[in-house]
């Protein structure tokens, strides 16, 4: 989609181009009209001079007092011509030599103005009129060569176009500066969006133009609402699990008593198994609520600090086994996502590794401009290659000899997929056991 700056710039450029074109066209037309009016006014004066010098003799023949006529009308092909048509004959200026002008119809009530072609393909402006002189009809026309004026107008128009082009370029630079300064607050919001995605800031700044401020405020309100709903959901889950724990404990205690006499169908044994299963699920949800805490969206999660608390919790859970949990996390490494998602992802991967490890579990983290990767390895028996994909299915367990419900790796896979990443399962070459590596995309400025 075209950016707002590009749209404004395109609209302003087209507007300036249209205004410049109109200025050139209207300016050129106005200059030509002004020059034509000036020459026509001079020709009307020449017409009156010729009219004053014209007379008729007793036989009705036209006569012209040539000493009252300007010298331009005596120079051959000067462009200044006159031509008189009467019933007794025609008179031509000496400058016409032996040529004759093709006059348009002339009216008596107003002067006629027209362009005609004269000798030597001259472009002539003609002014003429019909008169009654001493009772004799006469049509008088005077002309002037308009070609030099046309050449001057062309030179002036080219200069005007050059000046207009310079002004057009200056206006383009000015409007670009105005558009950039006007959209500077929007550029600040655009820079803040990747930071919000990376979790460096919790909300967008409200220092925005009045037209965009409602949108920014609504987005911040939605972020707060999402945070509140997520917190309420996790609290409700923890409260539900805690509320179920007491009656389930009582039922479990009852189920642990000797079965009643005559239990031939084994329903008492099935009851105890189902209660144990429900109790394990409840403990798991309580543990998740205890580990998750209150992370808010739009905040950057520091790996080393969160992982330290998570590992401390896992060591307490698996305190009956001497498992060494090693972490290799570069200082300052962060996760641009929800804190609860990170803890649930690593919690499931590390808890699975602790259950199957013999003596050692290792967590390694790394990041570059495009990805964040988290690798969890153990020195346990691992998993056959042909059964790795089955571990991603909910409830699928390869080995029933260890406690579990077959949900941890499936949940981890769902979280990684939610962030657009990949979860690779395989064999650890360094520790010899199971390997789970999550590759998550890292938001950057280019993603905005």
Which CATH number belongs to the domain containing residue 47 in this structure? 3.30.450
Q: Is residue 189 part of a domain?
A: no
Q: Which two tokens stand for residue 288?
A: 């998740």
Answer yes or no: do 243 and 292 share one domain: yes
Tell me 398's DSSP state. Answer: S
Answer yes or no: do 100 and 33 share one domain: yes
H helical segments located in 118-183:
147-182
- Beta bridge mates, 326: 362
Q: What is the pLDDT of residue 81?
A: 93
Tokens 């057009």, residue located: 168
pLDDT digits (tens, 9 = 90+) for 153-170: 999 999 989 998 899 889
Nearest to 340, CA basis, from 318, 319, 310: 310
Q: Is residue 316 part of a domain?
A: yes
Answer yes or no: do 38 and 52 share one domain: yes
**Under 8 Å between Cβ of 327 and 305:** no
Q: Is residue 180 part of a domain?
A: no
Answer yes or no: do 381 and 268 share one domain: no
28 burial level (CB within 10 Å; 0-12, 13-18, 19+): middle
Tell me 180's DSSP state. Answer: H
Segments in the chain below pLDDT 50: 291-297, 395-401, 403-405, 444-448
Q: What is the pLDDT of residue 446?
A: 33
Nearest to 287, CA basis, from 316, 254, 259: 316
Answer yes or no: do 320 and 437 share one domain: yes
Q: Is residue 222 part of a domain?
A: yes
Answer yes or no: do 115 and 235 share one domain: no
**Under 8 Å between Cβ of 130 and 108:** yes
SS3 for 244? helix
Q: Domain range for residue 359?
A: 300-448
The number of distinct structural domains making up the chain is 3
DSSP assignment of 6-45 equals HHHHHHHHHHHHHHHHHHHHHHHHHHHHHHHHHHHHHHHH
CA 197, 200, 203, 205 dihedral sign is negative
Q: Which residues of 404-424 are buried (b: 16+ CB within 10 A; e: fewer)?
A: beebbbbbbbebbeebebebe
Q: Is residue 187 part of a domain?
A: no
Answer yes or no: do 46 and 70 share one domain: yes
Answer yes or no: do 295 and 312 share one domain: no
Answer yes or no: do 80 and 207 share one domain: no
Residues in Cβ contact with 155 at an 8 Å cutoff, skipping those fewer than 6 apart: none
Angle at 69 between CA 132 and CA 109, to 5 degrees: 30
Q: What is the pLDDT of residue 286?
A: 58
Nearest to 194, CA basis, from 369, 368, 445: 445
């Amino acid at each position: 989609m075209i950016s707002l700056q590009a749209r404004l710039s395109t609209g302003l450029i087209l507007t300036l181009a249209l205004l410049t074109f109109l200025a050139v066209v209207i300016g050129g037309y106005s200059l030509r009209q002004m020059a034509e009016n000036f020459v026509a006014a001079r020709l009307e004066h020449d017409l009156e001079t010729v009219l004053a010098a014209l007379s008729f003799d007793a036989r009705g023949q036209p006569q012209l007092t040539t000493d009252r006529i300007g010298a331009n009308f005596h120079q051959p092909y000067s462009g200044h011509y006159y031509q008189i048509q009467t019933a007794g004959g025609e008179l031509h200026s000496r400058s016409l030599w032996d040529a004759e002008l093709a006059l348009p119809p002339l009216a008596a009530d107003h002067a006629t103005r027209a362009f005609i072609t004269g000798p030597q393909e001259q472009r002539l402006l003609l002014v003429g009129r019909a008169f009654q002189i001493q009772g004799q009809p006469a049509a008088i026309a005077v002309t002037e060569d308009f070609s030099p004026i046309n050449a001057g107008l062309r030179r002036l128009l080219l200069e005007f176009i050059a000046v207009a082009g310079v002004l057009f370029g200056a206006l383009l630079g000015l409007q670009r500066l105005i558009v950039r300064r006007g959209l500077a607050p929007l550029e600040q919001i655009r820079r803040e969006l990747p930071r919000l995605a990376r979790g460096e800031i919790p909300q967008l700044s409200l220092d925005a133009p009045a037209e965009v401020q409602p949108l920014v405020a609504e987005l911040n309100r939605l972020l707060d609402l999402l945070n509140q709903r997520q917190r309420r959901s996790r609290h409700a889950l923890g409260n539900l699990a805690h509320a179920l724990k007491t009656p389930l404990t009582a039922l479990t205690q009852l189920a642990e008593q000797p079965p009643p006499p005559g239990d031939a169908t084994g329903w008492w044994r099935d009851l105890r198994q189902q209660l144990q299963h429900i109790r394990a699920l409840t403990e798991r949800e309580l543990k998740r609520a205890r580990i998750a805490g209150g992370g808010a969206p739009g905040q950057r999660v520091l790996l080393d600090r969160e992982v330290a608390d998570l590992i401390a919790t896992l060591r307490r859970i698996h305190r009956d086994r001497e498992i060494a949990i090693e972490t290799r996390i570069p200082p300052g490494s962060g996760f641009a996502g929800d804190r609860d998602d990170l803890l649930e992802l690593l919690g499931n991967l590390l808890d699975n590794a602790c259950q199957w490890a013999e003596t050692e579990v290792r967590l390694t983290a790394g990041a570059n401009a495009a990805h964040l990767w988290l690798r969890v390895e153990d020195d346990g028996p691992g998993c056959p290659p042909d059964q790795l994909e089955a571990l991603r299915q909910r409830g699928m367990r390869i080995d029933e000899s260890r406690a579990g419900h077959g949900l941890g790796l499936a949940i981890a896979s769902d979280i990684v997929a939610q962030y657009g990443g990949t979860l690779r399962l395989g064999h650890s070459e360094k520790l010899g056991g199971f390997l789970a590596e999550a590759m998550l995309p890292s938001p950057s400025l280019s993603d905005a």
